[in-house]
């Protein structure tokens, strides 16, 4: 089944920016809207960045993210507590630091954010792979193709060594075809659970995908991943009603041209940007844009980032690793500890270790355990010499409003609702002012209260959502 | 056979090292184990300890969905006004993750085909005690403590529990067991729906998950539940905060939470509720906080001594019940993974031994504390394994597996039956189920929790009930 001539024509024409049929946000676009965009399409603003981005207007702001002129990292290189460089391939947790550093220092945050989405979409865990090198290689492949062609992404992921191990495609042979990859490719990567394919299609896709294998090196582990025609099932298969002597590339082509794929693609992609689903009409328009662009990712992302729901729709809970990176960006801290490796696990999102092949469950980021962990993050964020010492701190305000403002400013002045600001101010008044009766308390309680307020701002519903 | 790991003897060591690293995570703050440069990183088991749930698009939308109440008045009613009776029935779910090989827990020594199905994994007839209700089966010697509880009438054995048209994916089959239906799209758990019917809006402990993330069986649509690592570890730290500003800070959790709950936004409400419930839980668990500088209390006697958190978590359940906390449903997962595709014996034996000893110690702990008549423990796994062992001295995913209902009030009689290997296999060579997990859930709901199952389990009316509690 060749790609349709319409698709080929669209590919030659190049990607369009926005479909005429998808609505575009026309409301005001100030620092507050830019702040949300930076959290949804990146890892939050650095101090002052929201106001800067807002000057470009909504469309200019989106295009600066989707077509970045500069993909460099700025700021000091990541180190451990002892000042030594991280060892992402060798040392446990340093893989997490390697990526978190990119999130914190990226000039082009959407590239890292899309890479995070693809890591969730093609969720692969080092728990099953056992090689930080292979995981990071996969991550680089996802990054290189993060706004490119989805067929190319699917091809790269199907034949990626970490994936070949994780979903058992390496070693799946004509004698003993393994259905693991074929099933998840359809259920999670391209079509979704539904009536679009049958158990027989799973078995037949598994046959089409046979032939991948690798060798084993006693010191370096799995190596030499390749397709061996001798292991491939060359027989006739019937997939989605098509009959042929299909190989692995045919299997991918068939699933990419399955009528259910475009809708699944845009629905899943949109879910990374908004908690509110697109209407049926907009889903259809986005799917049409995807197909007419030649199954390119960037045009669809651009249209989604300009959609009214993204800018004016309901808020989303920040993914935990996004929150960690954003806190670091907000306070201007770079990677100087391995604490983030286990902290990311405690808050519920340790990169390179998704819970399973369906990725993280974004509807359940917050529970009593992860809320505790998010609160305790602040203690890690504020290095010892930045904790205010009540015996020596100078210039700490002695009234509630100024204490509250100073705590919010500590995180780079995130937008805080009036209700939350009132709650913070009430605490500042009761703890910093009213509770202080003795002279030493009047000196020390405002300082203790400001330390607490910093943690409370970060734990507020406003800061945990965007 | 997998091509990537031809040196099968490495699997066990890798497994153990992976576990070691996971423990390192659990002991965060005390220094992390590092792997020396050049040392191969651990190959996992392919199944994480926090497996599962279909979060594919379209399902992402509404766990705490539109039906979730944002009414802050509910939360103004005050905290810890627990509606869950502190003396009501308790259900404890123990999940043996990875699909345990039921034919090595209760092995059919008396089946003429057993030796041919298990040429290397088979156990001798005289190795383990006979299962008195069906002498064709013997208990694995490591499961002897279960045999003892069974002799005391405290264990109902399900030799082949499952469902029709079995799914062999860990994720899918586990999902079915968690939600209590063979429905890929159901997002609330079967215990969660029970709590939605009987639970209160202000008591997170009514549904208690001892883990880092919520076990799906406890996912609710209406009422809060708690996820904690261990009760001793539930403490909030803010550097440079003490005295009155610290005490008042906890009150601010509630006022911030109410700001979120009143915002008219689902995500803000979710965050706000987590804040309020975390503070409620903090107060409920204050009594478990070790004194400043004091070492963690040791496990009570008889729990296996290990750095795994599973025994500590089970011991904590007994302690929390003894403290009178308003707990109704509990989920705990073994740290051991039973996905034994290769070289089964080593990891299987260590995992089974720890699981059985822990559950036995838990039962004796409850009895010693006078709590045993209030607690029923359900032990389950997502499937059993294929009767025919594979070429790697392991077993592949199967269909029906074993389950246990344990407690002084458990009926203590077999549910379902063991069919012979000659007659009890499906066309794929897997064990056929003689008892349906959904029927078991309905029976537990009705006989133990005294709740109408039709409100909780889909198509409950069509499911056969079994005797699960002493009549």
Task: Report the half-sphere exposure of A451 (CA within 13 A, side-chain side).
Answer: 27
At residue A199, the pLDDT reads 83
Q: Which residues of A touch B55 (CB under 8 A)?
A: 358-363
Q: Which residues of A touch B255 (CB under 8 A)?
A: 423, 426-427
Q: Which residues of B touch A448 (CB under 8 A)?
A: 240-243, 245-246
Shortest Cα distance, chain B CAs vs residue A46, angstroms: 23
Most B-contacting residue of A461, A462, A465 (CB-CB within 10 A), to test interface: A461
β partners of residue B158: B403
Q: How far, CA to CA in Å, does A238 sit from each of A207, A210, A250, B324, B396?
A: 10, 15, 12, 61, 27
A234 vs B: CB within 8 A: no
B408 compared with B169, residue with greater pLDDT: B408
Indicate whether A241 and A127 sit together in one domain: yes
The answer to whether the Cβ–Cβ distance between B248 and A315 falls below 8 Å is no
In a domain, A319, yes or no: no
Percent of chain B with pLDDT over 90: 67
Query: Shortest CB distance from A192 goes to which of B58, B242, B266?
Result: B58
A462 vs B: CB within 8 A: yes
Q: Which residues of B touch A316 (CB under 8 A)?
A: 267
In a domain, A191, yes or no: yes
Running DSSP on this structure, what letter comes out for residue A313?
S
At residue B297, the pLDDT reads 76
Query: Shortest CB distance from A355 goes to which of B50, B248, B256?
Result: B50
Running DSSP on this structure, what letter comes out for residue A70?
-
A449 vs B: CB within 8 A: yes
A376 vs B: CB within 8 A: yes
Backbone angles phi, psi at A112, to 5 degrees: -70, -35
At residue B396, the pLDDT reads 87
Please write down the HEC assignment for all residues of chain B.
CCCCCCCCCHHHHHHHHHHHHHHHHHCCCCCCCCCCCCCCCCCCCCCCCCCCCCCCCCCCCCCCCCCCCCCHHHHHCCCCCCCCCCCCCEEEEEECCCCCCHHHHEECCCCCCHHHHCCCCCCCCCCCCECCCCCCCEECHHHHHHHHHHHCCCEEEEEEEECCCCCCCHHHHHHHHHHCCCCCCCCCCHHHHHHHHHCCCCCHHHEEEECCCCCHHHCCCCCCCEEECCHHHCCCCCCCCCHHHHHHHHHHHHHHHHHHHCCCCHHHHHHHHHHHHHHHHHHHCHHHCCCCCCCCCCCCCCCCCCCCHHHHHHHHHHHHHHCCCCCCEEEEECCCCCCCCCCCHHHHHHHHHHHHHHHHHHHHHHHHCCCHHHEEEEEECCCCECCCCCCCCCCCECCCEEEEEECCCECCCCCCCCCCCCCCECCCCCECCCEEHHHHHHHHHHHHCCCCHHHCCCCHHHCCCCCCECC
Domain boundary among A297, A329, A354: A297
The answer to whether the Cβ–Cβ distance between A423 and B252 falls below 8 Å is yes
A380 vs B: CB within 8 A: no
C-alpha to C-alpha distance for A442 and A416, rounded to whole angstroms: 27
Q: What is the mean pLDDT of chain B?
A: 82
Shortest Cα distance, chain B CAs vs residue A55, angstroms: 28
The answer to whether the Cβ–Cβ distance between A90 and B38 falls below 8 Å is yes
Q: Which of A375-384, B75-84, B242-251, B392-401 has the lowest mean pLDDT?
A: B75-84
A228 vs B: CB within 8 A: no
Q: Which of A399, A333, A426, A402 is nearest to A43 (CA)?
A: A333
The answer to whether the Cβ–Cβ distance between A358 and B52 falls below 8 Å is yes
Query: Shortest CB distance from A379 goes to which of B237, B243, B256?
Result: B237
Shortest Cα distance, chain A CAs vs residue B224, angstroms: 9
Q: Within 10 A of B62 (CB to CB), how many other CB atoms are there?
A: 15
Mean pLDDT confidence for B360-389: 97
Q: Quote the ipTM score.
A: 0.92
In a domain, A194, yes or no: yes
Nearest CA in chain B to A427: B252
Please state the separation of Cα A126 from the chain's center in Å: 17
Q: Which residues of B touch A356 (CB under 8 A)?
A: 47-48, 50-53, 170-171
Indicate whether A263 and A117 sit together in one domain: yes
Question: Could you tell me where the beta strands, DSSP code E, fall in A219-294?
Answer: 221-227, 237-239, 242-244
The answer to whether the Cβ–Cβ distance between A342 and B266 falls below 8 Å is no
Give pLDDT tens digits for B91-140: 999 999 999 999 999 999 999 999 999 999 999 999 999 999 999 999 99
Please state the separation of Cα B409 from the chain's center in Å: 20
Spans in chain A with pLDDT lower than 70: 1-20
Running DSSP on this structure, what letter comes out for residue A271?
H
- The radius of gyration computed from the CA coordinates of chain A, to the nearest angstrom, equals 25
At residue B41, does pLDDT exceed 90? no
Mean pLDDT confidence for B357-382: 97
Q: Which of A113, A192, A124, A186 is nearest to A160 (CA)?
A: A124
The token pair that represents A265 in the structure block:
């693609």
C-alpha to C-alpha distance for A386 and A397, rounded to whole angstroms: 17
Nearest CA in chain A to B3: A171
A388 vs B: CB within 8 A: yes
Q: Which residues of A touch B269 (CB under 8 A)?
A: 461
In a domain, A95, yes or no: no
Residue holding tokens 């006989």? B447
The answer to whether the Cβ–Cβ distance between A314 and B239 falls below 8 Å is no
At residue B146, does pLDDT exceed 80? yes
In chain A, the number of structural domains is 2
Question: B461 near B439, Cβ under 8 Å?
Answer: no
Q: Which residues of B touch A134 (CB under 8 A)?
A: none
Give pLDDT tens digits for A423-441: 999 999 999 999 999 999 9
Count Cβ–Cβ pairs < 8 Å, chain A vs chain B: 312
The answer to whether the Cβ–Cβ distance between B259 and A419 falls below 8 Å is yes
Question: B314 near B180, Cβ under 8 Å?
Answer: no
Percent of chain B with pLDDT over 70: 82
At residue A161, the pLDDT reads 97
The answer to whether the Cβ–Cβ distance between B51 and A356 falls below 8 Å is yes
At residue A274, the pLDDT reads 97
The answer to whether the Cβ–Cβ distance between A459 and B219 falls below 8 Å is no
Indicate whether A291 and A397 sit together in one domain: no
Q: Taking the domain B10-28+41-51+86-234+294-462, which CATH number applies?
A: 3.40.720
Domain boundary among A266, A297, A328: A297
Nearest CA in chain B to A265: B57
Domains of chain B by residue range: 10-28+41-51+86-234+294-462
The answer to whether the Cβ–Cβ distance between B213 and A367 falls below 8 Å is yes
In a domain, A62, yes or no: no
Domain boundary among A297, A323, A344: A297
At residue B48, does pLDDT exceed 60? no
Q: How far, CA to CA in Å, does B278 sit from each of A61, A65, B227, B248, B283?
A: 38, 37, 9, 15, 9
β partners of residue B210: B228
- Structural domain range at position A283: 5-18+110-297
pLDDT confidence of B237, banded at 50, 70, 90?
confident
Backbone angles phi, psi at B376, to 5 degrees: -120, 130
């Amino acid at each position: 089944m060749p790609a349709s001539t319409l698709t080929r024509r669209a590919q030659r024409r190049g990607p369009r920016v926005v479909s005429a049929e998808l609505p575009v946000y026309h409301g005001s676009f100030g620092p507050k809207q830019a702040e949300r965009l930076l959290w949804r399409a990146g890892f939050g603003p650095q101090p002052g960045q929201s106001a800067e981005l807002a000057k470009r207007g909504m469309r200019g702001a989106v295009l600066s993210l989707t077509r970045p002129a500069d993909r460099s990292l700025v700021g000091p290189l990541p180190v451990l507590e002892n000042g030594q460089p991280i060892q992402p391939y060798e040392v446990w947790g340093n893989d997490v630091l390697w990526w978190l550093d990119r999130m914190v220092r990226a000039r082009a945050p959407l590239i890292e954010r899309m890479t995070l989405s693809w890591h969730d979409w093609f969720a692969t865990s080092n728990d099953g792979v056992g090689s930080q090198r292979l995981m990071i290689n996969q991550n680089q492949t996802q990054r290189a193709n993060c706004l490119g062609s989805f067929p190319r992404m699917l091809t790269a992921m199907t034949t990626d060594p970490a994936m070949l191990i994780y979903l058992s495609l390496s070693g799946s042979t004509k004698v003993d075809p393994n259905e693991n990859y074929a099933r998840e490719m359809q259920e999670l990567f391209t079509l979704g659970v539904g009536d679009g394919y049958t158990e027989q299609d799973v078995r037949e896709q598994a046959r089409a995908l046979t032939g991948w294998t690798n060798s084993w090196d006693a010191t370096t582990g799995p190596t030499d991943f390749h397709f061996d025609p001798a292991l491939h099932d060359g027989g006739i298969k019937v997939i989605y009603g098509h009959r042929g002597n299909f190989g692995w590339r045919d299997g991918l082509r068939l699933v990419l041209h399955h009528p259910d794929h475009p809708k699944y693609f845009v629905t899943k992609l949109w879910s990374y940007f908004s908690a509110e689903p697109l209407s049926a009409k907009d889903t259809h328009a986005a799917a049409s844009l995807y197909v007419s662009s030649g199954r390119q990712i960037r045009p669809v992302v651009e249209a989604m980032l300009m959609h009214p729901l993204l800018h004016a729709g309901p808020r989303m809970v920040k993914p935990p690793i996004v929150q960690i990176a954003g806190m670091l960006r907000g306070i201007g801290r770079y990677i100087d500890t391995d604490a983030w490796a286990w902290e990311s696990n405690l808050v519920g999102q340790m990169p390179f270790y998704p819970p399973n092949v369906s990725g993280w469950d974004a509807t359940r980021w917050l529970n009593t355990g992860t809320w505790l962990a998010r609160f305790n993050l602040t203690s890690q964020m504020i290095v010892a010499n930045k904790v205010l010492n009540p015996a020596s701190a100078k210039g700490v305000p002695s009234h509630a409003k100024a204490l509250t403002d100073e705590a919010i400013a500590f995180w780079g002045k995130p937008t805080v609702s009036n209700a939350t600001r009132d709650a913070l101010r009430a605490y500042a008044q009761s703890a910093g002012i009213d509770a202080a009766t003795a002279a030493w308390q009047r000196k020390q309680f405002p300082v203790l209260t400001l330390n607490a307020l910093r943690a409370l701002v970060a734990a507020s519903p406003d800061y945990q959502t965007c | 056979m997998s091509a990537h790991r031809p040196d099968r003897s490495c699997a066990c060591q890798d497994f153990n090292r992976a576990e070691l690293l996971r423990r390192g995570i659990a002991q965060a703050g005390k220094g992390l184990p590092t792997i020396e440069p050049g040392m191969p990183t651990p190959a996992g088991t392919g199944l994480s300890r926090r497996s599962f749930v279909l979060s594919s698009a379209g399902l992402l939308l509404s766990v705490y969905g539109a039906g979730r109440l944002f009414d802050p008045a509910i939360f103004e009613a005050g905290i810890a006004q627990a509606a869950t009776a502190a003396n009501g029935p308790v259900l404890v779910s123990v999940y043996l993750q990875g699909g345990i090989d039921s034919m090595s827990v209760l092995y059919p020594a008396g089946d003429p085909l057993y030796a041919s199905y298990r040429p290397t994994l088979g156990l001798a007839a005289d190795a383990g005690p006979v299962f008195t209700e069906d002498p064709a089966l013997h208990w694995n010697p490591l499961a002897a403590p279960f045999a003892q509880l069974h002799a005391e009438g405290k264990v109902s054995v399900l030799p082949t529990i499952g469902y029709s048209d079995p799914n062999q994916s860990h994720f899918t089959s586990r999902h079915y067991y968690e939600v209590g239906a063979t429905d890929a799209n159901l997002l609330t758990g079967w215990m969660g729906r029970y709590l939605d019917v009987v639970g209160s809006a202000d008591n997170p402990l009514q549904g208690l998950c001892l883990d880092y993330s919520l076990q799906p069986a406890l996912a609710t649509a209406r009422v809060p539940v708690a996820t904690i690592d261990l009760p001793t570890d539930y403490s909030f730290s803010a550097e440079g905060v003490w005295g009155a500003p610290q005490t008042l800070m906890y009150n601010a959790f509630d006022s911030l939470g109410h700001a979120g709950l009143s915002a008219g936004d689902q995500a803000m409400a979710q965050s706000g509720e987590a804040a309020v419930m975390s503070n409620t839980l903090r107060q409920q668990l204050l009594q478990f906080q070790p004194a400043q500088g004091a070492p963690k209390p040791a496990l009570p006697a008889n729990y296996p001594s290990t750095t795994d958190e599973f025994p500590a978590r089970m011991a904590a359940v007994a302690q929390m019940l003894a403290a009178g906390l308003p707990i109704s449903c509990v989920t705990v997962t073994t740290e051991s993974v039973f996905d034994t595709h290769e070289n089964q014996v080593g990891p299987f034996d260590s995992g089974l031994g720890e699981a059985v000893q822990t559950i036995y110690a838990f039962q004796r702990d409850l009895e010693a504390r006078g709590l045993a008549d209030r607690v029923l423990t359900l032990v389950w796994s997502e499937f059993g394994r294929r009767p025919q062992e594979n070429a790697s001295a392991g077993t592949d995913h199967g269909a029906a597996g074993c389950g246990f209902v344990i407690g002084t009030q458990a009926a203590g009689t077999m549910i379902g039956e063991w069919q012979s290997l000659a007659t009890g296999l499906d066309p794929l060579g897997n064990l056929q189920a003689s008892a349906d997990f959904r029927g078991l859930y309905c029976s537990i709901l009705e006989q133990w929790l005294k709740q109408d199952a039709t409100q909780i389990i889909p198509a409950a009316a069509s499911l056969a009930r079994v005797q699960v509690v002493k009549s």
